[in-house]
Structure 1
Amino acid sequence: MNSLLITGTDTEAGKTVLTTALAAYWQKYCASQSLGIMKPIQSGIGDREVYQKLFSLSQTSEEITPLYFQAPLAPPIAAAKENRDVDLGIVWQALTKLQAQRDFVLIEALGGLGSPVTDELTVADLAAEWRLPTVLVVPVKLGSISQAVANVALAKMTRVNLLGIVLNCTQPRTEEEVEDLTPVRMVRSLTNMPVFGCLPYLENPLDLDKLAQVASNLDLEQLLPFRKLIKSL
């Protein structure tokens, strides 16, 4: 499948940083291949606006975010405040159309794998049902190991095609601090998942050159379709 879902252990884990880093890398090294970015559901101002500012996607706001709600709350709650439903049919139609039009589609999920999409479904349920290859972003902070273990357990329970983990520094961290808070060997051992690397804290998360650089430091060969791309460079 020509898509990659980027989710996290929670809100503010670093999903947008990884999404924009991968998009910047793709834009720099794959200009001949078309890229689409989607935030399927957004509540409040946020990621869609970042994508529109950074990238020339030739996508309308609705093509980037098929479902948009005003209140920065969980979608079923935000939708209820507007007397609306979370219509996943609209999202699915927009996603399949974008997948048909683009060589590769980056999809940024909302919240974590356990975040509610509707009153009955979570992000994990959607990832599994739509068969989306998925990467889990884990922030470098105290408590993140247990969150990583819980999210991976949920992914396995719901049969999500989880490819692995990317660590992300949400604030400046030394190598020693990263090792103390989220040691890669322990994260790998407890989750039985590969760790593709660690994103450093970015003072300017809108610097495309820096975003592409930090993406290049990840083990992108493990992230399809980047494996095929890298072999062709």
Structure 2
Amino acid sequence: MTKPLLIVGSDTGVGKTVLTAALAAYWLTYRDRTASRNEPSTSLGIYKPLQSGEGDREFYHHTFSLSQTLEEITPLYFETPIAPAIAAHKEGKAINLALIWQHFLKLQQQKECLLVESMGGLGSPITDEYIVADLARDWALEVILVVPVRLGAISQAIANVALARMEKVKLRGIVLSCSQVYSEEEMEELAPPQMISRLASTPILGILPYVKDLHDISQLAIAASELDIERILI
């Protein structure tokens, strides 16, 4: 059984969903002993506690054979595609922290591998007074930080690592995510792994390559195999 893992981003649209999907595909392809062509996996759980607007939970539900309903993937859903704390206020709803905690505990007990995708980054608000870093700390989750390969990657990585340390979040490492195919020279110019690791004093757990078809489980699993997977799925 692996430890539950929280996947957060240094910003929006940086590859959290891609990494979560790649790790899920890797688990289903290489580690899931319960997998069957005709039956959904009972060992893998994907959890996104809150979501605003259609997107990730629908993608996971349609791409992977999971023994989870949409509501089990995401128990708190808002129609307005903005930050959940703002969407809840706009729709006259409450953020029920106890509810998402109870759903997490249930999945943790049921699943061998539980991947939790964050609502944005460590500093993203869940309520008016509670951010993702608070949730990571309170739920005792180890965290993978996804940093995109683009200008600004270095400062984003350093700032998010600093926040993790300030909030006493256990950061397992950083994954650099590619939104297109980059040469080694471009990688070094935009997001040099050794420099980021040194300045942030945090290990780089690999570079997630560009995945053309996010619905292709074999492509996703191959992408995950490029990472230091034994340090991620532990």
* TM-score, scaled relative to structure 1: 0.94
Does the aligned pair in 1 maintain the 2:61–2:69 contact within 8 Å?
A: no
The separation in 2 between residues aligned to 1:129 and 1:118, in whole angstroms, is 15
The residue number in structure 1 matching 2:149 is 140
The equivalent of 2:231 in structure 1 is 222
Q: After superposition, what is the alpha-carbon deviation per residue over 1:95-142, rounded to whole angstroms, capped at 9, x for unaligned?
A: 000111111100000111111111001111110111101100000000
Residues 50-106 of structure 1, C-alpha deviations (whole Å, 9 max, x = no match): 101111111111110010000011111100111111111110000000111111100
Counterpart secondary structure, 1:111: coil
Residue 8 of structure 2 contacts residue 120 of structure 2 at CA under 8 Å; is this kept in 1?
yes
Counterpart amino acid of residue 179 in structure 2: T
Moved more, 216-225 or 23-32: 216-225
CA contact (8 A) 1:38 1:107 kept: yes
Identical-residue share of aligned pairs (%): 57
1:6-85 pair list within 5 angstroms: 6-32=7-33, 34-85=43-94
Classify the secondary structure of the residue corresponding to 1:76: helix
Query: Distance between the aligned counterparts of 1:92 and 1:72, measured in 2?
Result: 23
- AA of the residue aligned to 2:20: T
- Matched residue SS, 2:77: strand
Tell me, which stretches of 5 or more residues in structure 1 are unaligned? 226-233
Letter of the structure 1 residue corresponding to residue 73 of structure 2: I
Equivalent in the alignment of 1:205:
214
Partners of 1:167 and 1:199 within 8 A in 2: yes
C-alpha separation in 2, matches of 1:162 and 1:2: 13
- Bigger drift between 23-32 and 169-178 goes to 169-178
Answer yes or no: is the 8 Å Cα contact 1:11–1:110 preserved in 2: no
| Aligned residue type for 2:67 | S
Q: Given that residues 128 and 160 in structure 1 are in contact (C-alpha distance below 8 angstroms), is that contact kept between their aligned partners in structure 2?
A: yes
Structure 1 segment 119-158 matched on structure 2, within 5 A: 119-158=128-167
TM-score, structure 2 length as denominator? 0.94
> Residue 38 of structure 2 aligns with which residue?
none
SS at match of 1:32: coil
- 1:224 is displaced (CA, Å) by 4.0
Q: CA deviation at 1:219?
A: 0.5
Count of residue correspondences: 225
The 4+ residue runs of structure 1 with deviation greater than 6 A are none
State the Cα distance separating 1:22 from its structure 2 match. 0.3
What residue is the counterpart of 1:193 in the other structure?
Answer: 202
Equivalent position amino acid for 1:11 in 2: T
